[in-house]
Amino acid sequence: MVYSDLPSHRAAPAPAEGTRERVLQLVLTRGPVSAAEIGRELELTAAAVRRHLDALEEDALVEVKRVTSARGAGRPSRRYVVTSHAQEHLPKDHLAVALHSLARLEELGGDEEVRRTARRAFRDVEERFAAAVDGRDTELQERTRILASVLDDAGFAGTLRHFGAGLAPTLRADQVCQGHCPFQGIPARHPQFCEEETELFARLLQVDVRRLSTLAAGAHVCTTHVPLGRD
């Protein structure tokens, strides 16, 4: 990923600039993420990571969230997420044309016509998932892992989080997270895209899922809750 305002003719970025983009990419895909976690991933010192994070914060590309541990003990830790400003400046090719076309479709064919368009937009994800599963009888947790991987390959910055380790199976869950939306700017105007995507996830995973947050609603990441105890 590159900053959208970098000139296309520019030479390869300087080492510091390239590292800063890698830091931003990790915040995008892993956020909320700590400076220590970024340092371990990139093999950087804490001081080096903080310099890059401070620069990104000054540019309004990342912001700090105070996260309290699940047990509520200790002081809240500093975690970083991308800002709505950063999401707005990620590439959005032909957004105005797409919004105009969808508005015209809705005018002529109503809600269902927009939904058909949304379903077609996610067809690539469905086909990639089918190819990865390849007709195998897979368990829910494996299907969830495949879905997150497919989303990442398809440009959604997909990651997977596990919850409930050590708890009863009915309390365990996965969360499929998407740090980027290739359709950024469209779902806010046409929520059918988020709705059709959620229905697709439920169909692929063969279980009811719940959307906890969306980029379209102003969150830093789209999060889909997958209850593993209902396989």
Distance in angstroms (rounded) separating the CA atoms of residues 72 and 80: 19
For residues 169-204, b (16+ Cβ closer than 10 Å) or e, as one string? eeebbbbbbbbbbbbbbbbbbbebbbebbbebbeeb
CATH topology of domain 15-88: Arc Repressor Mutant, subunit A (1.10.10)
For residue 14, the model assigns a pLDDT of: 40
Structure tokens at 5: 């305002």
Q: Which CATH class is domain 95-230?
A: alpha beta
Q: Are residues 21 and 12 in contact, defined by beta-carbon separation less than 8 angstroms?
A: no
pLDDT digits (tens, 9 = 90+) for 55-93: 999 988 888 877 654 444 456 678 888 887 776 655 554
The answer to whether the bond into 91 is cis (omega within 30° of 0) is no
Where exactly does CATH 3.30.1380 map onto the chain?
95-230
| Residues comprising the chain, all counted | 231
pLDDT-derived band of residue 131, with 50, 70 and 90 as boundaries? very high
**The pair of three-digit structure tokens given for residue 26, joined into one six-digit string:** 């990790």
pLDDT tens digits, one per residue of 2-26: 333 333 333 343 456 688 888 988 8
Q: What token pair was written down for 54?
A: 């401070």
Ranges in the chain annotated CATH 1.10.10.10: 15-88
**Residue 10: what pLDDT?**
37
Q: What is the mean pLDDT of residues 121-126?
A: 93
The pLDDT, as a whole number, for residue 114 is 87
